[in-house]
Amino acid sequence: FRSHNFVSMTESSPSPDGVGRTLTRNKEGKATSTSHRPSFLLLGDSITQFGARHDPVGWSMLLASKYTGERKADILNEGFSGYNTRWVLRILPHILKDVPQNQVLLVTVMLGANDATAPDHYQHVPLDEYGDNLRAIVEQLRQTLPNAIVIILSPPPLDFDAHNSGRDPNDKDGRSLENVQKYAARAMKVAQDAQVLSLDICTLMHAEPNWKEMLCDGLHLASSGNGFLHDQLMQLITAKTPHLTVEALPLHLPHHTEAGQFDFGTL
């Protein structure tokens, strides 16, 4: 019986992330949120979509293990395999319509791997349009998700030989490391101009001696590549948005040892 550890008062002043949440604190000062659970939105192409897979363990799955596994935040994976910025921009209003808009505290945008195909390929988006599309995506996110911090991630580097190994010679998509690097640089420029956070996965991963081993097929992430992206993202969150670390976010609803004494009628 631990009712003596529970403080009867609640606090409803804005939390460090700018979202007003009702918090209850026990005697040790640990906070429990009685508001809706916050969310992180991951927007992208197959590199985001496949991040939700368990084999290999994806970077989205790793985030969910930390945040959802600790009952701190839900991870919403909105990855669309094969999509480019042009198509994501078209579907974005539909995606955001179903998102708990006031609860989204973080958004990652990782696009460009498909835009960077050859000019005659059906997925291709010219570099200038790619930049314009990213700007429009960021602006729409800002207008719709008032509490969200946006992070633009560049696509990973491309291993040309592995990507084209065994492919039909008539089914070449024109991807190359040099072209992906151009799109990655443009993504970083958009982030700088829009004054949002950025993570240049292309440059960071390519600097690693074993970078080719981080890709399972020259394009998509292997287990080590997913781990690398996850670790880089967590380092950025810790450095730039420490109030969104697992440790800083409050537990959603009381711990089971406090549940018996909590007035659930106040929710």
Residues serving a catalytic function are 46, 217, 220
Looking only at the bridges linking them, the beta strands covering 23-26 and 31-33 are: antiparallel
Largest interatomic CA distance in the chain: 73
The three-state secondary structure class of 235 is helix
- Nearest 5 degrees, angle CA 239-CA 244-CA 249? 135
Q: Taking Cα atoms as reference points, which of 55, 76, 88 lies closest to residue 226?
A: 55
Looking only at the bridges linking them, the beta strands covering 149-153 and 104-110 are: parallel
Whether 103 contacts 252, CB under 8 Å:
no
DSSP line for 51-73: GG-BTTBPHHHHHHHHHTTTTS-
Looking only at the bridges linking them, the beta strands covering 104-110 and 197-199 are: unpaired
CA 213 to chain CA mean position, Å: 23
The position carrying tokens 């059906």 is: 122
The three-state secondary structure class of 264 is helix
The position carrying tokens 């969104």 is: 244
- Nearest 5 degrees, angle CA 200-CA 206-CA 211? 125
